[in-house]
Structure 1
Amino acid sequence: MTSNQPRPRTRLSLRSNSVHYDSLSTEQPDSDTPFMRTNPISQKRSYIAVAVLCYINLLNYMDRYTIAVFICSFMFLAPIFGYLGDRYNRKIIMIAGMIVWIITTLGSSFVKKSDFWVLVLTRALVGTGEASYSTIAPTIIGDLFTGTKRTLMISFFYIFIPVGSGLGYILGATIANATGDWRWALRFSPALGGLGLLLLVFLIPDPPRGASENKGGATMERTTYIEDVKYLLKNRSFVWSSLGVTAMAFVTGALAFWTPTFLSRAQVTQGLRPPCKEEPCNPLDSYIFGAITVVTGIVGVFLGTYISKQLRDRLPNADPLICAVGMLSSSPCFFIAIILAATSIPATYTFIAIGETLLSLNWAILADILLYVVVPTRRATAEALQIMVCHLLGDAGSPYLIGAISDALLKYDQESPHWDFRRLEYSILLCPIIGILGGVFFFMTSLYIKEDRKAAELLNSGQAPDPLETTTESV
């Protein structure tokens, strides 16, 4: 086929016709070729943009774990912002969301204890900012870089999930102890958020969707939200990897919420400290767990990125296999850590660190998978749906499920501190089981990743029709 021959009309087309794709070729240019340098946004500005996005991502996760609550509105608002993010100016959407986040976070710190439902409402509105940012920021990085550079930039971005979570524990405990009031922790985050807002306004671009893959970017005829969802549900790699992310979120959410209390009870059981009314008995547990989360997150994300880079060219389905191995190998580590808690706290911390490192292999890789198996004009919707599912079935409910199981076991002995430890121990053992299930989901992803990635590349280059199209016409 030559460039003069008619080809099927697709719902995804290129803004520029200055580059000809051979219809027999399915390979995409590497990020370092002259083709990719046609992106109108300079490399320097792209790197600065990633740095700013990383900073704001850090603030998001610091705030989320400062008082260790999960915002239900976050997962329900995400699909709305996913729809908007695929159709309108992404920078303006993030700015608006961040303004709401700053105002509501600061406002919630002044709510009195007697006005509990007002606090719940203001904290729920925080989800507006997080939903607008988390669904859109990765897609901007995807449009600024491609190939190995995109993987590296995504790794920098997602490394701030464990780092922000860990710092949230540390700063939350530090500020609460220093001031005697946990609400001061909520006043610290908006101050940093104000700086992030200014950086977002002046330094973040809104590149054309698909700019990193195609000169000038890609544009799609107006589609309904239902059509976008149907496209994603037919993408088997997206579906299975989303289930894997949900299992990851279940494990990380439950462990983040209960580990300090669990280790505090373990030390009471060992006679290392007396029982206390308010758990964890010693803020040192939060400091240690926070530090472990930060260090293992950094090591795990960069290690996963390095392994992916080494194997991806030789093994097309390397990314989901790395995720599967990470999940499956972390589960026995968490199991051993839970069992050893009754006899050795240092050994428990050691296996928690190993398990979290293995789990952190997946963060950047998972984001990269979504970006290369979904076409640019539907990535925000994909991010949003994945966020909704992983929070709804993962970390939004796992801490409460663990607590409910533990409370159900209380009836067998309501007086013994030793039983308080054991019932929580038995409950947390659910995490390694869910981890194994997540590994299976990622293995299923590996069966379809090559085919789905190729389909996205062909559709993005205009060489294949939208799978939702029932008819084609020549142009």
Structure 2
Amino acid sequence: MSLKHQKQSYQPLPTAAAMDNPAMIQSSGSSGSSSSEEGGSREDVANLSPLGLPTTYSSQQLMPSDTDSMEEERHRLRPHHHHHHPLGEHHHIPGIPPSAAVPSRLSSVGRSQWFTVTVLCFVNLINYMDRFTIAGVLTDVRTDFDIGNDSAGLLQTVFVISYMVCAPIFGYLGDRYSRPWIMAVGVGLWSTTTLLGSFMKQFGWFIAFRALVGIGEASYSTIAPTIISDLFVHDMRSKMLALFYFAIPVGSGLGYIVGSKTAHLANDWRWALRVTPILGIVAVFLILLIKDPVRGHSEGSHNLEATTYKQDIKALVKNRSFMLSTAGFTCVAFVAGALAWWGPSFIYLGMKMQPGNENIVQDDVAFNFGVITMLAGLLGVPLGSFLSQYLVKRYPTADPVICAFGLLVSAPLLTGACLLVNSNSVGTYALIFFGQLALNLNWAIVADILLYVVVPTRRSTAEAFQILISHALGDAGSPYLVGAISEAIMKHLHKNPSDSGLTTELRSMSQVAGSAISNATQVITEATTSLIETARSAASQEYSDVEQFEGLQYALFSTSFVEVLGGIFFIFTACFIIKDKYNATRGLQDATAQQQQRDERGQIA
């Protein structure tokens, strides 16, 4: 049965495309198909609200414009109401004036909302600082505990495993219980375990506390974006998410810088781990001061009843836009993880092969790479958000198309950087910058896609599910996979020097002075304080610099194929996103109507 033939007491919503494009509603409204039932399509088109919603819709579906409050909209539209929404004509969020319920511009954002967003951004900042602090002092950690690169890499592995395993648990809790309290407990746990871990003298205990840090951080990462989604909608939500995701590049860079500098000043790497816990305790008290918005607040609904976890998972798996965008985002995480882990080492090996760069210092390479990564994130995240806000009004499928564009453009740029690194330093850094800039277009947009194709009561679960998949198949495995591929290639090149592309002179040097090169490589590996170089496979010390470079070069080419695959996933997402966005809006309307009926029955009883 079509939506048009449903009973009059339950008005259908316009499609998601129409909600974002009033011209579509005007076009469809002028078709005359419903003129006999609704009193003329031309009259209905004339009575559209500023957002393109027909005037027969209650204020539950209306958002205030920049110039009119919702109360003024309701008063202006009341004469045209031919039908009534199940929630009633005067329904709005209790205790919040309708005109202030959903800010439409920055000037209309209230103090409470600004405070909430500021606190969430601050916590996200120290979240990423904490993740990268240990990497900034990894050389000292290896020396203190007398461990190899394999055990040092295990520090990242146990963190990611505990993080992604616990994410679904906190997602379930976040959809049902107080989110500020859950986040406060999680931030308190990660701050405490980070501080206690800095006093551990045995590596086994130290790595156990790093695993607990992952549990604490999972509680925050799954819940914070859903609070933003319940405070804002549409363009304002995109802007706030972009602000929230600024913390990823900034926090990552600060973690490395603050960690290494603190360890240097204190002459003890353990003090580097005692900075973020202090900030974390401050964050706990700030989190407890924020108000937990009602789930579905920004969409005009309240007191929605959560469904079972089985129903949540079943609905998410059937949501094609969510699943495909998650697959695309997993490809983004795969590439980002591989670049962060192997990028500085690869660039160092390549630039060292350039004439006159034999004495290049890896700390300088790592610093340059870090600055480029931070700038690419600072520009790429808001650029993606801006493009989304500008284009989605005209093209409802713009969000996944922008994500696909970013990945498909990034792939050849990063491939070019891999090919150019041993001949042109400036060109290499330029290609890496623009490649990462294109890659960073995805962050805020993917988060926004999740929030508008999933109903409010399932968003924390959806966040957790996305975190689990993107880490398990993305940045948790990509550093190891790229390392394993490079190891296999290096073994082949070592046994078959003619396949490496080296000149006869270099091959002769490799055969005659292999032992000396191996010892020199070992000295470099032990002496460097670089984030990435110290985490390379211990087996790499067997090979010459050229073999290591070519092994990593061919292995990193795999990231370009993954980027193309991610672009394809996002293109398919564009085929379903309008329907899934409409289904989420319809599901919210249905849930709200059912909740209203339950409330009415409770009052009668």
Q: Same fold (TM over 0.5)?
A: yes
* Structure label with greater radius of gyration: 2
Structure 2: which amino acid aligns with 1:440? I
Indicate whether 1:124 and 2:204 are aligned: no
Residue 488 of structure 2 aligns to a residue whose secondary structure is: helix
1:206 equivalent in alignment to 2:239 = no
Inter-partner Cα distance in structure 2 for 1:172 and 1:401: 27
Deviation at 1:195, TM superposition (A): 2.1
Quote the residue 2:37 is aligned against. none
1:1-400 to structure 2, matched below 5 A, reads 5=9, 28-30=61-63, 32=65, 34=70, 35=98, 37-38=100-101, 43-68=110-135, 69=156, 71=159, 72-112=161-201, 115-202=202-289, 204-215=290-301, 217-220=302-305, 222-270=306-354, 272=356, 282-400=362-480
Alignment-derived partner of residue 43 in structure 2: none
Q: Give the whole-Å Cα distance in 1 for the aligned partners of 2:399 and 2:366.
A: 32
Structure 2 counterpart of 1:421, one-letter code: F
Alpha-carbon distance between aligned partners in 1 of 2:417 and 2:109, rounded to the nearest angstrom: 47
Structure 1 pair 427/175, CA: closer, same or farther in 2 (3 Å)? farther
Closer, same or farther: CA 449–218 of 1 in aligned 2, 3 Å: farther
AA in 2 matched with 1:89 = S
**How big is the shift at 1:289?**
1.7
The answer to whether the aligner puts 1:426 opposite 2:426 as a matched pair is: no
Task: Quote the residue 1:449 is aligned against.
Answer: 577
Structure 1's unaligned 5+ residue stretches are 9-20, 467-474
- The percentage of aligned residue pairs carrying the same residue is 46
Cα distance in 2 for residues equivalent to 1:157 and 1:249: 18
Judged with a 3 Å threshold, the aligned counterparts in structure 2 of structure 1 residues 148 and 78 are, in CA distance, closer, same or farther, namely: same
Contact 2:304–2:592 at 8 Å: present in 1 too? no
Does the CA contact (< 8 Å) of 2:486 and 2:555 recur in 1?
Answer: yes
What secondary structure is seen at the aligned counterpart in 2 of 1:270? Answer: coil
The corresponding residue for 2:38 is none
Deviations 1:114-173 (A, max 9, x none): x22212111111112211101000000011111211111111001211222222233333
Cα distance change on mapping 1:463 and 1:63 into 2, 3 Å: closer
CA distance in 1, matches of 2:269, 2:564: 36
Q: 1:218 offset after TM fit, Å?
A: 4.3
Q: Does structure 2 conserve the Cα–Cα contact (< 8 Å) formed by 1:66 and 1:169? A: yes
More divergent stretch after superposition (263-272 vs 420-429): 263-272
The amino acid that maps onto 1:163 is V
Task: Provide the TM-score with structure 1 as the length reference.
Answer: 0.87
Matches of 2:240 and 2:333, distance apart in 1 = 22
Is the alpha carbon distance of 1:285 and 1:455 closer, same or farther for their aligned partners in structure 2, counting shifts above 3 Å? same
Q: Secondary structure at the match of 2:566?
A: helix
Opposite residue 191 of structure 1, the aligned amino acid is I
The answer as to whether partners of 1:236 and 1:452 remain within 8 angstroms in 2 is: yes
Structure 1 residues 31, 435: CA separation in 2 closer, same or farther (over 3 Å shift)?
farther
Q: Is the 8 A contact 2:187 2:216 kept in 1?
A: yes
Residue identity matched to 1:109: S
**Aligned 8 A contact 2:186 2:216 in 1:** yes
Give the Cα separation in 2 of the matches to 1:234 and 1:464: 22
The more displaced of 385-394 and 151-160 is 151-160
Cα pair 2:354 2:423 within 8 Å, conserved: yes
The one-letter code matched in structure 1 to 2:167 is A
Deviations 1:339-374 (A, max 9, x none): 111112221111111011111111111111111000
- Secondary structure of the corresponding residue to residue 304 of structure 2: strand
CA-CA distance at 1:383 after TM superposition: 0.2
Unaligned runs of 5+ in 2: 13-52, 71-97, 136-155, 495-541, 595-600
Post-superposition shift, 1:23? Answer: 11
Supply the distance in 2 between the matched residues of 1:268 and 1:128 (Cα, whole angstroms): 40
Displacement of 1:459: 1.2
TM-score (norm 2): 0.69
Q: Distance in 1 between matches of 2:576 and 2:303?
A: 25
Rounded to whole Å, the distance in 2 between the matches of 1:320 and 1:4 is 35
Say whether the 8 Å CA contact 2:183–2:219 is kept in structure 1: yes
Q: Deviations over 1:273-329 (max 9, x none)?
A: 5589xxxx5322222222112211111111111111111111011111000101110
Q: By how many angstroms is 1:198 displaced?
A: 2.2
Shift of 1:59: 0.9
Matches of 1:51 and 1:147, distance apart in 2 = 19
Rounded Cα–Cα distance in structure 2 between residues aligned with 1:116 and 1:272: 41
Please report how far the alpha carbon of residue 63 of structure 1 lies from its aligned counterpart in structure 2 after TM superposition: 1.4
Shift of residue 39, structure 1, vs aligned partner: 6.5
- Structure 2 distance, partners of 1:7, 1:445, is 28
